[in-house]
Structure 1
Amino acid sequence: MSDEPQTLEPARTAPPAQAARVAAEGGRGTGPAPWVARLVVVGLVLAALNLRPAITSLGALLEEVRADLHMSGSVAGVLTSVPPLCFAVFGITAPRLARRFGPAAVVGAGMAAIFAGLAVRPFATGTAGFLAASALALMGIAVSNVLMPVIVKRYFPGRIGTMTGLYSMSLALGTSLAAAATVPMTEALGGSWRLGLGVWAVLAVLAVIPWIPLVRDRDRARRERSEGAHDAAPASGTAPASGTAPASGTAPAAAPGRITRSRTAWALACFFGLQATGAYITMGWMPQIFRDSGVPATTAGLLLAVTMVMGVPLAFVIPRLATRLRTQGPIVVALGLCGVTGYLGLFLAPASGAWVWAVLLGVSNCSFPLALTMIGMRSRTGTGVVRLSAFAQSVGYLISIPGPLLVGVLYQHSGGWDLPLALMAGLLIPQMLMGVLAGRDRNVEDEI
């Protein structure tokens, strides 16, 4: 990713990270036209609603899909690891695509890919076709995942916390809605898993519509590229024109470097990966933990829904709070301690305190919107956010792949949940450490 050019800006009189934080807290620029801003808000909400139903709807009907397609248990296990793998592999292509076509066009294409994958998947007659259609939808989710913080930075630079909270809340709503509604809808449609999965393509096609006119709104992108080229000229060693001098208090911008040279980028990637590990473990295994402790299956499903729905209000509150703090470390620690307490409760009294532990784990899982907010705050330019978002999410999702599988192996070989729960709680320690490092008041441009 080092060969991707970066939009450069002159240094500011205030420290760069402080200036970025002030902008995130409420600074106002010229901004997009009002109709564009309203359309982007609608597009963000609809896009976020579609970033998880392809995954959680399948989880609700996995047993029926396995039986009908004659899918082995090992293949089904691989299927549960496909989402983070696709997020890592396809997400890394987002910066190059956004640079060539514009972020709005790529997100619109991502929504179209989700629609196509969800529409084709019910017609699969074998495992290979089903996996291919799922991968198409996940590819659209991957590039859109990476570019959501970029869209916010581009169109709402003065409202990063608010807009990140809005689409994070919508993402949590889409996740819980698909998990809770897929089975009832399938039963209402005659019991066919094909209809139960295919109905989510309707929501996906609606998400394509707002991005179509936004693709035509390219003046902002062209202007940013033009300004970036102008600002980058001094960095290449070209002297200023005769009779000109840098403005007081400014300095030439530094040339772009490798994102991998930034310690903050690595800390953010590790924090993102560890919180994703916890989220996938929770979604995949928490109902089984409750069922093994004597909780009825229907109640275990409701407990999972409670955990996921906690992200709806908190995903709106936490990003706004994060942009008002100099460092985000205290929020990271508070969320991590909620998770540790929840896992400790599952170890000591899984059934009697089930609802409390579900709520605490739901609060802990809100590290996801916090990570997205920090991506927008740790770079001062839109292009920098593209690179940081792609790096943090791609590396992070690679980190998250082994977690759910390792929990399953420990559960199978130990015959209980003591070791898996110890692992889940233990992973929160490095998560808090990496989050504190990622939440420091600095920008990746200053480190590379």
Structure 2
Amino acid sequence: MTSTTRISRLTAVWTLIGLVLLTVNLRAAITGVTPLLGDLRESLGLSGVEVSVLTTLPVLCLGVFAALAPPLARRLGTEVAITGSLVLITAGIVLRIVPAQPALFAGTVLAGAGIAMGNVLTPAVIKNVFPRRLGALTGMAMMLMAGSGAIAAALAVPLNDAGGWRLALAVWAVPSLLAALAWIPLTRKTANATERPTPHARTSTEGSLLRVPLAWYVALFMGLASLMFYVLMSWLPEIMRAQGYAPATAGMMVSVMMIIGIPLGLLVPMAAARMRDQRPLVLAVAVTMVVGLGGLIAAPHAGWLWVTVLGLGTGSAFPLAFTLLSLRSATPSVAARMSGMAQTGGYLLAGAGPLVVGVLHTTTGGWNVPLGLMLALVVPEIVFGLLAARPSFVHSNPADPERLAASTSPAVSTPEDVPTASR
């Protein structure tokens, strides 16, 4: 394409509706399962190992299938790929209600694959259709993901009590099906906007991002941020129970940590997009993580204080990393490719975190060593975050000697720089 194509107002509005419906479905199918593990184990005869696999499988799927999204989007179109991802989520949810172990695991893989693709393509859609609203719409996406995930977890037990675990799982097929139907018109109507590079950064759709250092910095920052979150989500109740807190209180602490992240999912991307240099935000995240993890080791009796601080840290880190996928990409296609690379490596790294921490706890018989490891991992998280947050852009031609071009312009592109939806 050689000229800018303006997207019609109707298409932009419909894309916004589709984006809302898409992001609502990118967590619920995962978080709505964990509260039902006891009933699933009893009904389907799952062993302890099988339950562990079931809880780890979604995170691994987010990593494994993320790499498929960019090539599918290039071959079929972003809108078609997103529609397909929502169909996979719906099919996976429906398959899981079949009362058989193979169906439960196969459905989890299908839903995980669809969620992985939706995760990767969300930044590309925002950058392509709403380049002047990167912060606000990335924040909206993060808030809807966190909010829908929390709602799904909260409703799982009441729905199970009302109609059994099959109803509790099946209900989330309704919003995913509605989202798929909403994206179908976009597969026919969307005009493809030209991908003009942001000033000071030359781009090419050829070459591997694996040879671009900045892409690695963003990927590693996202991976470590995700690892911290999933480790705490998995083990914080056990850590607090070991300190004498009641099981119900320990479980409530995880919920509070997730709830704190909901408004931060909106505010952090908006703040990041207004800043030319996001390194102050990285340092703020690092301070909260050091204080929270250090507090759990040194003064675990003040558990609620440290949980609140960790909620601020984990609730800010992932939205910041997710926003950097767009802010550091010169074009929507590069955003999709970097999102695929970062989420593939990031979620695979995050999936290993809870396992390693669990093994360390079993080996040492306590939580100080695992928490010490997490505290040590804050150091590389800071380093990669600072490198990723510098004002520069990724382009995808490793043969180009100017792999990275430091920007002297604001992080948010101006109307003349990129294609936009007509007002």
1:10-69 Cα deviation digits (max 9, x unpaired): xxxxxxxxxxxxxxxxxxx98532222222222222211211122211111112212222
Deviation of residue 401 (structure 1)?
2.2
TM-score when normalising by structure 1: 0.83
What does 1:369-448 correspond to in 2, within 5 Å? 369-445=319-395, 446-447=402-403
Name the structure 1 match of 2:33: 58
One-letter amino acid of the structure 2 residue matched with residue 271 of structure 1: F
Regions of 4+ moved over 4 Å: 249-255
Equivalent residues in 2 for 1:158-169, closer than 5 Å: 158-169=132-143
Structure 1 residues 41, 311: CA separation in 2 closer, same or farther (over 3 Å shift)?
Answer: farther
| Match of residue 95, structure 1, among 46, 60, 70 | 70
TM superposition shift of 1:254 = 6.1
- The yes-or-no answer on 1:257 pairing with 2:232 is no
Give me the whole-angstrom Cα distance separating, in 1, the residues matched to 2:260 and 2:201: 46
TM-score (norm 2): 0.88
Query: How far is 1:81 from its partner?
Result: 2.1
Unaligned runs of 5+ in 1: 1-6, 10-28, 232-248
Equivalent residue in structure 1 for 2:19, among 41, 44, 52: 44
> Is contact 2:329-2:393 (8 Å) kept?
yes
Query: Which residue does 2:302 correspond to in 1?
Result: 353
Conservation of the 8 A alpha-carbon contact between 2:11 and 2:190: no
Matched, 1:78 2:40: no
Structure 2 counterparts to residues 150-299 of structure 1, below 5 A: 150-189=124-163, 192-220=164-192, 224=194, 256-299=206-249
Q: For the residues of structure 2 that align with 1:275 and 1:392, how far apart are their CA atoms? A: 12
Corresponding residue of 1:107: 82
1:22 corresponds in structure 2 to none
User: Where does residue 314 of structure 1 map in the other structure?
Assistant: 264
Contact map agreement 1:153 1:382 (CA 8 A) in 2 = yes
Which residue of 108, 111, 115 maps to 1:141? 115
TM-superposition CA deviations, 1:127-150 (whole Å, max 9, x none): x22111110000100100100000
Cα distance in 1 between the residues matched to 2:200 and 2:236: 53
Measure, in 2, the Cα distance between the counterparts of 1:8 and 1:422: 54
Post-superposition shift, 1:383?
1.2
Deviates more, 1:273-282 or 1:205-214: 205-214
Deviates most, 205-214 or 88-97:
205-214
**Which digits, 9 at most, give the CA deviation of each residue in 1:327-376, with x for residues without a partner?**
211111211221221112222333x4232222211111121111111110
Cα 1:157–1:294 change in 2 (3 A) is: same
Map 1:323-342 to 2 at 5 A: 323-342=273-292
Q: Distance in 2 between matches of 1:53 and 1:251?
A: 38
In structure 1, the residue matched to 2:311 is 362
Structure 1 position 313, deviation (Å):
0.9
Note if contact 2:209-2:338 (Cα within 8 Å) is conserved in structure 1.
yes
Asked whether the equivalents of residues 307 and 362 of structure 1 are also in contact (C-alpha less than 8 Å), the reply is yes
Deviations 1:383-416 (A, max 9, x none): 1111111111112122222111011111112222
The one-letter amino acid of 1:267's match is Y
Asked which structure has the greater CA Rg, the reply is: 1
Distance 1:291 1:251, change over 3 A: closer
- Where structure 2 has 5 or more consecutive residues not aligned to the other structure, the ranges are 396-401, 405-423
User: Paired residues, what number?
Assistant: 396
- Looking at structure 1, the residues matched to 238 and 286 of structure 2 have their Cα atoms a distance apart, in angstroms, of 22
Alpha carbons of structure 1 residues 85 and 252: separation in structure 2 relative to 1, 3 Å: closer
SS state of the match for residue 316, structure 1? Answer: helix
Q: Report if aligned partners of 1:8, 1:381 keep a CA contact under 8 Å in 2.
A: no
Change (3 A) 1:155 1:213: same
Of 202-211 and 333-342, the range deviating more from structure 2: 202-211
SS of the equivalent of 1:443 reads: strand
Summarize deviations over 1:219-264 as a string: whole Å, max 9, x none. 225xx3xx78xx9xxxxxxxxxxxxxxxxx9998668332111110
SS for the counterpart of 1:220 is coil
Cα drift, residue 382 of structure 1:
1.3
Distance apart, 1:8 and its partner CA:
9.4
CA distance in 2, matches of 1:100, 1:186: 41
Q: Structure 1 residues 261, 8: closer, same or farther in 2, change over 3 A?
A: farther
8 Å contact kept, 1:52–1:171: yes
1:285 to partner: Cα distance = 1.0
Letter in 1 for 2:135: G
- For the pair 1:116 / 2:91, whether they are aligned, the reply is yes
Indicate the percent of aligned positions where both proteins have the same amino acid: 40
Q: Separation in 1 of the partners of 2:70 and 2:392?
A: 22
CA contact (8 A) 1:179 1:305 kept: no
